[in-house]
Structure formats: structure tokens, C-alpha cells
Chains A and B, each alone.
Chain A
Amino acid sequence: MQTKGAPDQLVVVIDDDEVMRLSCQQILQKAGYKVETFGNGHAGIKRIQEAKPPLLIVDIKMPELDGFEVINIVRKIDTDLVIVVITGYATIETAVDAMKAGAYDFLPKPFTPNELRMIIDRGFERWRLTKEAQRLRREKEEVERKFVTLVSHQLKSPLVAIKQYLDVMLFTSKDQLPEKAADWVRRCQVRLGEMLTIIQDWLALSRIDSGSLCDRASSAELGKVVENIIGEYQQVPSGLNVTIKASIPSDLPPICGDPVSISMLVGNLVSNAVKYNRAGGSVSLKACRVGNLVTIEVSDTGTGIPPGAMQHLFEEFYRVKTEATQNIPGTGLGLVICKRIVHELNGTIDVRSKEGEGTTFIIHLPIAENKKEVEAKSGECK
């Protein structure tokens, strides 16, 4: 079967032999291609750079630049260019070498017009498929990106409306509601809050996956992030009356990562440290510099993690199930998010825990790229 080349697709021919150039031109123009021929590598490469054609036919044996050199150069200009090699001394070795260098196919001289046409049609089809695949991949990525945003918005909207009604109802007419009804409304608020948190965590994970979070080129001031987080907790005090203490050296260098990711990371750890604490307990946040890394420690005075649970801690939807933890709300995604963020930012996360005494999460994150040279004395661990 002979496929018809798309009209007006450009084929560049580089060959020092004029007869060869002319015959290629005639055969391929008849087949519907636009053909431009060049007598040496330099002129041909220049044209490829300008026109980015789908196809190149190049002779192997030429004075000045030979075919292999031409292939090496044009491969760097356009990785999708389909290259067909013409070789006068057809040995398997030359053909293999040409393929290794990045040619798509080879044509031994002498060849018939039909052989040339078939090889070029096939080459063009390959180029078309490559481009098509690239377009589809881009479209798919775009759809996935939009899907996550839209679905999470669609999932959230009804929940938001319901919770907003309940919030306003309780706020404006609490006294008119029977005690039991008010209590149930509060339970509904809590359960809706849980659902919203799951969607939010799921969205965070897909944003990490799609690369729209965890920007390594950004930098974050840990002091500011921690200040914001503590501020949020002071606005909404937990029922356990847990105090949060932070000691972040003011001269701590900025850490690698965007403030949103860092805030999500530290926020999740602080949230856990508060939730899994004892009444009247405390959470302590410490940070210091160790060489080109910043160490962040988040410790609580809670019940600690049972040794058997340690290995599952960073698994999706895993939650420690003990009598003490059964009424603590959570999605089982918080530590997964932490681990993913730390991983994306080229850091590490560890945990130390003693049952009955408390848990400490230790994070190491690189210092922001352009701050590494700064005098290492600042904010060093004592």
C-alpha cells in the first residue's frame, strides 16, 4: 500500500552529488512533497534550523561535513526530525552506525523511485504520529489538570453551601433550637468539615503530582510560616488547651520551596501534634541550620505512636487505631502529604516516638539555592 505524502510537507535533501539531488527532487515532488536540496552539510543544517522540516535525506559520504556529523548536529536542533540516510557503500555496519546516530532508516544506492517514495512516506507517517502523540499528551495533561480543579470545586460546592447554612443557622438562631437539634447541627458541621478536609488533602496530593506545588526554585522564610500557623491556632483554640511554643532563630536562612508547600508541611505536623496531644500538653517547634540543610523539629507531649504503627505511618489512609485516638478526626493523608512535599523538595522526614511521652517529627530541607554561600554560622544548631 502506498500512502500519499501530505502536500507541501518539506523534505530537505543534503547530497554533494548533483544528479542524486535532482532525482530525489523530481521523485518526491511528484509524490506531493516540497523539496529543497543542498550541496553541503552547512547550508542544509542552516535551512533545517530555520524551517524545522519533518524530513531530511542525507548522504553519508560527503566532503567537509559527512552524513554522521550532519545527523549529530540536526538531532540537537530538532529531536523529532525524521532522518533517512543514503549510502553508496551499503554495508550493514554503515547502516547500523547511522541508526545509532539517530537516523530513522537508510537507503542503499542505487535505489528505485518507488523505494525512495515508500521510505519517505513511511518516515513522514512516523513524524505525523510523533506530533499527534505529543499533542494528545499535552491535551491529556491539560484535561487532568482542569479535572482536579473542577472536580474538587464541584465536590466542595454542595458541602460548602450546607455547612454555610448550618454555620449561619447556629449563629443567628441558636437559642431558638432545641438543645438536641443544636447538638446535631454541631455534629453535622464537624462531619462536613472532615469531608472538606479529605477533598482538600486529595487536591493537595494531586497538585504535588502535577507539579503545581513544591516549587524548588522558590524560597520560604520558616519564621513567617510558623508565625502564620500559630496565629491560626490562636484564633481557633483546640479543646485540649495545648500550648504551642516556637523557637526559630531570626537569622535562619530561607529554605528551598514555596511558602504554600512549606506551610502545608509544617501545618500538617503541628495539626497532628495538637490533635494527638494530652489535655494541657504542649507542642514545640524548633529549627536550626546544619551545613546546607535546615532541621525542623515538631514535638508533642502526647500519647506517642505504638511501635507496631511506625512502619505504616506514611501510608495513604493509614490511621493509628488505639483507644486514645479513636475519636480524633483525620483523613490519613496528612503525613502522606508531608512525605511527598519533603521528597519533592529533596529533603527527609523522620519520626521518633516514645509511648506515653510524645512524638517528634524531624525534617531536613535544603537551604534556598542562592543562600548556600552565606556564612554558615547563622542559625546553626547548638
Chain B
Amino acid sequence: MSESKTVLIIDDDRDFVTAIETLLVSSGYRVATASNGREGIQQAKKVQPDLILLDVMMTERTEGFFTLQEVRRIPALSRTPVIVISSIYTDQPVFRVSPEAGWLPANLFLPKPVEPMRLLEEARRLIGENCQTASAGRKL
């Protein structure tokens, strides 16, 4: 990585944010944080992150889902990779959804707590894929 990439963590659990922030910073990422959906959208517009990590159950039970839809409506963020990290997924196999897929356009769902190695791998992969599409887009 020539310049460090920015990851935005949107989660209302302060401790979870601190843990993940520590992990990402130690791996060379810049990190921005927000503790609810509204703040998350503001931060996303400001810092233009390379990746967003998003919780589901915050102040509202489904806040993350609506935040995600709003993120996708902002042109500059419409293709930013988003990983939904939530403890509601622990009893289901991890599944992948296309960014174009209807009402829940996340790139990946991960169960909470998240395996550090797994998160770093997926973050690297998603940011890499997105950079490739973006540069391919510019060439056209």
C-alpha cells in the first residue's frame, strides 16, 4: 500500500470500536469512527473512506440497514465497499451479496465478534477489488 487507506467504523459499542480500531491501526490503516447511522453518514461524506464497517442494531433495531441504503444513495459512496458486522449473523453461514442486490447492498456480512485475520484479509481484498474497478473505470 503506497498510501494508507481509510476505514470508517460505524458502531454504537465503544469497546468494539476501540478493539477494531486498534487492530486496523496496527495494520497500517487510518481509522475514522462514528457511533450511529446519522453521524456515520456525515463522517463518510467528510473522510471518503476506502471501506466502511457497519453495525446493524444501534439506537434503532435496524439502523444499520437504513444507513447502508443511504450510503448507497450518495454518488461518491455508491461503490465504497461495506462490510456489515453484526452479532445477528452468528447463527447463519457467512454470505455474500452483490452491491447491486436490492435493499441490502453490502459487500459482505461478518459475524461479531470478528476473527482479526479474517477481517484484515477481507478488508484488503475488498479495497483492492474496488481500486481495480475504479482505475478500470477511469481508463474507459
Cβ < 8 Å to A, chain B residues 35-62: 57, 61
Summarize A's interface: helix, strand, loop or mixed. helix
B93→A232 contact, CB < 8 A: yes
B118 and chain A: residue at smallest CB distance:
A235
Instruction: List residues of chain A with CB within 8 A of the CB of B23.
Output: 168, 171-172
B116→A161 contact, CB < 8 A: no
Q: Any chain B CB within 8 A of the CB of A27?
A: no
B92→A157 contact, CB < 8 A: no
A-B contact count (CB 8 A): 63
Given contacts A160-B112, A260-B92, A263-B92, contact A171 B117 (CB under 8 A): yes
Q: Any chain A CB within 8 A of the CB of B100?
A: no
Q: Which of B12-20, B66-74, B129-137 contacts A (4 or more CB under 8 A)?
A: B12-20
Cβ < 8 Å to B, chain A residues 142-170: 149-150, 153, 156-157, 160-165, 167-168
Instruction: List residues of chain B with CB within 8 A of the CB of A156.
Output: 87, 90, 112
B61→A149 contact, CB < 8 A: yes
Q: Which of A28-36, A48-56, A196-204 contacts B (4 or more CB under 8 A)?
A: A196-204
Within the complex, the shortest CB–CB distance from A271 to chain B, in Å, comes to 12
A160→B113 contact, CB < 8 A: yes
Within the complex, the shortest CB–CB distance from B18 to chain A, in Å, comes to 8
A163→B113 contact, CB < 8 A: yes
A164→B15 contact, CB < 8 A: yes
Q: Any chain B CB within 8 A of the CB of A264?
A: yes
Interface string of A343-372 (1 = CB under 8 A from B): 000000000000000000000000000000
Q: Any chain B CB within 8 A of the CB of A320?
A: no
Give the complex CA separation of A162 and B15 in angstroms: 8
Q: Any chain B CB within 8 A of the CB of A228?
A: yes
Cβ < 8 Å to B, chain A residues 110-169: 149-150, 153, 156-157, 160-165, 167-168
B56 and chain A: residue at smallest CB distance:
A153
Q: Any chain A CB within 8 A of the CB of B91?
A: yes
Instruction: List residues of chain B with CB within 8 A of the CB of A172.
Output: 22-23, 26, 116
Give the complex CA separation of A160 and B22 in angstroms: 16
Q: Any chain A CB within 8 A of the CB of B114?
A: yes
Given contacts A168-B116, A260-B92, contact A160 B87 (CB under 8 A): yes
Instruction: List residues of chain B with CB within 8 A of the CB of A157.
Output: 13, 87
Interface size of B by Cβ–Cβ distance < 8 Å?
A: 24
Q: Any chain B CB within 8 A of the CB of A62?
A: no
Give the complex CA separation of A207 and B138 in angstroms: 48
Given contacts A153-B57, A160-B16, A160-B113, contact A168 B22 (CB under 8 A): yes
Given contacts A149-B61, A153-B57, contact A165 B15 (CB under 8 A): yes
Give the complex CA separation of A150 and B92 in angstroms: 18
Give the complex CA separation of A171 and B114 in angstroms: 12
Q: Any chain B CB within 8 A of the CB of A229?
A: yes
Within the complex, the shortest CB–CB distance from B25 to chain A, in Å, comes to 9
Instruction: List residues of chain A with CB within 8 A of the CB of B88.
Output: 153
Instruction: List residues of chain A with CB within 8 A of the CB of B117.
Output: 171
Give the interface centre of A161, A204, A264 by most chain B CB atoms within 10 Å: A161
Instruction: List residues of chain A with CB within 8 A of the CB of B90.
Output: 156, 196, 200
Q: Any chain A CB within 8 A of the CB of B3?
A: no
Give the complex CA separation of A171 and B26 in angstroms: 10
Instruction: List residues of chain B with CB within 8 A of the CB of A153.
Output: 57, 87-88
Give the complex CA separation of A263 and B16 in angstroms: 29
B88 and chain A: residue at smallest CB distance:
A153
Give the complex CA separation of A151 and B117 in angstroms: 29
B116→A160 contact, CB < 8 A: no
B87→A264 contact, CB < 8 A: no
Q: Which residues of A contact B (CB under 8 A)?
A: 149-150, 153, 156-157, 160-165, 167-168, 171-172, 196, 200, 203-204, 228-229, 231-232, 260, 263-264, 267
The 7 A-B residue pairs with the shortest CB-CB distance, nearest first, are A161-B15, A171-B116, A164-B113, A164-B19, A163-B113, A168-B19, A228-B93
Known: A168-B23, A203-B91, A264-B91. 13 other contacts (CB 8 A): A156-B87, A160-B13, A167-B114, A168-B20, A168-B116, A171-B116, A172-B22, A172-B23, A172-B116, A196-B90, A200-B91, A229-B93, A263-B93
